[in-house]
Structure 1
Amino acid sequence: MGVRLKKLNKAKELSFLIMVVLFWFAQYVYIPFQTTYLTSFNITSNFVGAIIGAYGISQLVFRLPVGVLADKIGIHKPFIIIGCFASGGASLVRIFLPSGNGFLFGNLLSGFASAMWISFMVFYTQSFIKEEQQAATCRIVLFNNAGILIGFITSTLIYELVGMRVICILSFLSGMVAGILGLQIKEEKTDFPRVPLKSLLKVCRGKRILVFSLIALIQQGIQLTTTMSFTSTILKELGATSISVGVASIIYMISSVCFSGFASTKCCRKKGPNFWIPIVLISVTIYCILVPRLSAIPLILLLQILPGLSTGILFSYATSEAMKEVPQNKKSTAMGFYQAFYALGMTFFPILTGEMVERYDMQTGYLMLALIAVLGCILSIIYYILAGRFSMQDNRQKNCIPHE
């Protein structure tokens, strides 16, 4: 699985990655049917958008403080354990309050749990040498997606038989087991020198982290709004069964897992993020344009591969690119800023799209998202062109320095 440092042997790595799978199972097992479940109560599209966006609000509020605190104290285990137990606790709220308000509060708590994902990622990736960290990032995203995939398959197979309550019970149990595994983590404080708060926050001003945080904002916001939410509504309006809605989510997650694995291979890395990021954003644009305009359910199911491409490759590369030049003792703060920034998209994209759907129609809401994806594509192209020019200038200056 790569070149590990001493702090994470194979057995510990396997246990950790199983915990990652359980954590994301707890966070997403109910998602394929959340929107259709809520609309069955005649909840308006803009309130559904607010419920979905609540998941991003907590992340927006907590991620940067969690990152700063993790860098300050030099450990990640407490945040990992809190995240696991909070993921299960969120579904406990949904079990006892199976309504719009219950899901609103549950999603706020789920967002708080996801804010702890910073510590999952930094703890894991810092256990590898620098040259292996991009592959390690892709690997943990792969297991992240695997947990979501297993959740989607489970809910698709049993939702019509057992309903939302039992699905939420499974989510609660998974979060609790993940928390118990988290208690087994062995961690010592990092020996990096502690950095003053002002210096820590300066890392958030770098051009690289700002650009790739914005790209991740676009990717995560569109993914949560479409694939995880309103695409289910489109399928239901076309007469799709609950099984078909679940299959749509499964196709998306299978492609996410496969493309996450592909992103960590030499074949994919050979082309590099400057090739893949713009290409995948174009595929996201095509998805947003086509899905609300199609009337054939099988074609929409086939198109679910495109957001899987986005999650598997684009998100993996945006994360590794954002973190590339960050010093190790500022990594949690940088990751906290990065994840808080893209939580803006997860918060406001569903709310804005819900409002557009309520005022106009689904096509208008998805067209807005397509235009945002195009802007992201242009931004990434401009960044890599400018970065390439600066790199060439630096090389020329180095070559012009006379040897003494």
Structure 2
Amino acid sequence: MVPSQRKNRYLFIVVSFLLWFPNFLYVPILSPYIDFLGGSYTFAGIILSSYGITQLLFRLPIGIFSDLVKKRKPFIVMGMLASALSCILFLMSEILWFMLLARALAGIAAATWVVFTVLFPTYYEEDKVHKAMSHITFIVVLGQLLGMSFSGIVVDEFGWKAPFILGVIFSIVGLFLSLFVHEQKGLVDKKPITFNELIFVVKDPLLLKTSFLSIVAHSMIFVTMFGFTSSYALEIGFQEKELTWIVIVFMIPHAFATLYMGSHIVPRLGEWNSLKLAFLTSSIFAIVIPLFQTKFAFLIIQGCFGFSLGLIFPLLLGMSIQNIEIEKRATAMGAYQALYAIGIFAGPFFAGILNSLLGLESGFYFVGILGIFALTFIFIWSRKQVMVVENNQFEEKVE
């Protein structure tokens, strides 16, 4: 790799990190903070789900428009700006409805991730898409890990507003650095994309299947680690400063799993069998979480759950665009990320209602059932895939 290309990649990695780090500084304390301000679990679920609603509404239009104008960088800058505004709004107001708006703005920032994930692979050779996706997913998880790790400590030492102050600072730095992101001219085909071609891309069978599975996977993680796990932990005896340990034991295995999947598990098991393993173990660990009331056992299960979920996301991300032409990948990625935003919205929304009616334990059982539901479809689709391959091999032998 030439030095300039390496420099461009490293700068992009830093900007990507600064998109996620500020917006996850407050995630572990957001549900308890809403409770502190007098909000119910139901309203907490609405605030948490607003993050997914705006992604659902904006991701596909951003992907389509990016493909139409043949540009990625302006949308990256827009995402960093939305991230900064979100943190500023959280900092300036304790009114729950303004917090809803702030979280929705964070969702708009996350919606621009569709463009990040399309531009980043251009810094790699064309046959290394899975490697690029593993690396960029690792950066996401690293930003989430570090942000969430500091959250409980910062709140315990400096109060509820401290994560938002830090979020504003890091978001502004990221916004400034995003102005220097390199986008290679002429990389995307300048031929205009027709509406029929866009529809064809969105209807790609593998894209739709991976999107459905990603809806379930994002529901699972946004109900638990990015949702109500911290509230449940406080309920069973954890202190605010101890939330950091929950984040660490979940996110470190989660981060390493994103790298381990592409380099070790998929080459050995294949894509569909790897998904079976990941969803099965994730479902089991989610269901058993409420069965353990001691801190040590709770942390062990959290680590296993984090690793299992970490296996899912980079694989689905790479599979979603592997059949799509490069000039149409922003549209495909926009569709994929817009669809999985349904899970970011629906998961916390319905879990919030369940938690209000039946207690926080019900949310974990809900997540386990979702995983088993997805696993059923994986078995069906993988079997069809095997039948197609066997049929093609038979036809080749006949010819």
- What range describes the TM-score normalised by the shorter chain of this pair? over 0.9
For 1:152, the equivalent position in structure 2 comes to 148
In the alignment, is the contact (CA less than 8 A) between 1:138 and 1:264 conserved in 2? yes
Identity score, percent:
22
- CA drift of 1:191 comes to 4.0
* Partner of residue 187 from structure 2, selected from 190, 199, 212: 190
* Partner of residue 102 from structure 2, selected from 106, 112, 115: 106
Matched, 1:119 2:115: yes
- CA drift of 1:7 comes to 11
* Distance in 2, Cα, partners of 1:49 & 1:284: 22
- CA drift of 1:186 comes to 2.4
Give 1:223's aligned amino acid.
Answer: I
Deviations 1:206-265 (A, max 9, x none): 221111111111111110111112111111111210122221112211112111121232
Matched, 1:399 2:383: no
* Distance in 2, Cα, partners of 1:177 & 1:79: 17
- CA drift of 1:328 comes to 1.1
For 1:280, the equivalent position in structure 2 comes to 278
Q: How does 1:175-254 map to 2 (within 5 A)?
A: 175-187=171-183, 188-192=185-189, 193-254=191-252
Matched, 1:75 2:77: no
For 1:389, the equivalent position in structure 2 comes to 387
Deviations 1:320-352 (A, max 9, x none): 111111111210111001001110011011110
* Distance in 1, Cα, partners of 2:364 & 2:108: 28
- Structure 2 gap segments, 5+ residues each: none
In the alignment, is the contact (CA less than 8 A) between 2:278 and 2:309 conserved in 1? no
Deviations 1:101-133 (A, max 9, x none): 222111100000000001111001133233211
Q: CA RMSD in A?
A: 1.7
- CA drift of 1:175 comes to 1.3
SS of structure 2 residue aligned to 1:9:
helix
- CA drift of 1:311 comes to 4.0
- Structure 1 gap segments, 5+ residues each: none
For 1:302, the equivalent position in structure 2 comes to 300
* Distance in 1, Cα, partners of 2:329 & 2:81: 24
* Distance in 2, Cα, partners of 1:149 & 1:369: 21
* Distance in 1, Cα, partners of 2:314 & 2:46: 27
- Sort the Cα spacing of 1:47 and 1:290 in 2 relative to 1 into closer, same or farther, 3 A: same
Give 1:394's aligned amino acid.
Answer: N
- CA drift of 1:159 comes to 1.6
TM-score (norm 2): 0.95
- CA drift of 1:279 comes to 1.1
* Distance in 2, Cα, partners of 1:7 & 1:271: 36
* Distance in 1, Cα, partners of 2:198 & 2:368: 35
Please identify, of 186-195 and 44-53, the stretch whose mean Cα deviation from structure 2 is larger.
186-195
* Distance in 1, Cα, partners of 2:208 & 2:188: 28
Q: How many residues align?
A: 397
* Partner of residue 58 from structure 1, selected from 54, 57, 60: 54
Matched, 1:169 2:165: yes
For 2:93, the equivalent position in structure 1 comes to 97
Deviations 1:38-78 (A, max 9, x none): 11123111100000000000000000000001111111000
Deviations 1:251-308 (A, max 9, x none): 2111121111212324653323222211111122122211223211221111122342
SS of structure 2 residue aligned to 1:264:
helix
Matched, 1:374 2:372: yes
- Sort the Cα spacing of 1:8 and 1:220 in 2 relative to 1 into closer, same or farther, 3 A: farther
- Sort the Cα spacing of 1:302 and 1:128 in 2 relative to 1 into closer, same or farther, 3 A: same
Matched, 1:130 2:126: yes
For 2:333, the equivalent position in structure 1 comes to 335
Give 1:50's aligned amino acid.
Answer: I
* Distance in 2, Cα, partners of 1:251 & 1:300: 10
SS of structure 2 residue aligned to 1:304:
helix
* Distance in 2, Cα, partners of 1:28 & 1:122: 22
Please identify, of 36-45 and 107-116, the stretch whose mean Cα deviation from structure 2 is larger.
36-45
For 1:316, the equivalent position in structure 2 comes to 314
* Distance in 2, Cα, partners of 1:251 & 1:173: 27
- CA drift of 1:189 comes to 4.4
Matched, 1:140 2:144: no
- Sort the Cα spacing of 1:293 and 1:77 in 2 relative to 1 into closer, same or farther, 3 A: same
Q: How does 1:251-270 map to 2 (within 5 A)?
A: 251-266=249-264, 268-270=266-268
* Distance in 2, Cα, partners of 1:39 & 1:174: 26
Deviations 1:336-377 (A, max 9, x none): 010011100110111101111112223333222211110111
Please identify, of 43-52 and 161-170, the stretch whose mean Cα deviation from structure 2 is larger.
161-170
* Distance in 1, Cα, partners of 2:16 & 2:361: 36
- Sort the Cα spacing of 1:7 and 1:98 in 2 relative to 1 into closer, same or farther, 3 A: farther
TM-score (norm 1): 0.94
